[in-house]
């Protein structure tokens, strides 16, 4: 990995960039009957990067 990609990987809680197989489970779920009721959602498959940046917190209250 060179330059900026290495910096991004080191800043991720998993310590690496995502790979295609990292999203395979979510794709299979969403394409299956089990995921048929899920729509209009943004599913973060980012190795925990959103949590590490604290983007799910606003004013001390969780958005969850």
59 vs 9, which has greater pLDDT? 9
Q: Which helix (H) or strand (E) holds 38?
A: none
The CA-to-CA distance between both ends of the chain, in Å, stands at 34
pLDDT in tens, 25-56: 999 999 999 999 999 888 888 887 777 766 55
Give CA 36 to chain center in angstroms: 21
pTM: 0.57
| Rounded distance between C-alpha atoms, residue 9 and residue 25, angstroms | 21
Q: Where are the domains of the chain?
A: 18-62
DSSP per position, 3-28 = THHHHHHHHSTTSS---HHHHHHHHH
């Amino acid at each position: 990995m060179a330059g900026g990609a290495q910096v991004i990987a080191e800043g991720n809680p998993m310590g690496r960039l995502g790979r295609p197989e990292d999203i395979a489970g979510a794709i299979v779920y969403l394409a299956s009957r089990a995921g048929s009721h899920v729509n209009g959602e943004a599913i973060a498959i980012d190795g925990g990067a959103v949590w590490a940046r604290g983007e799910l917190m606003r004013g001390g209250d969780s958005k969850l």
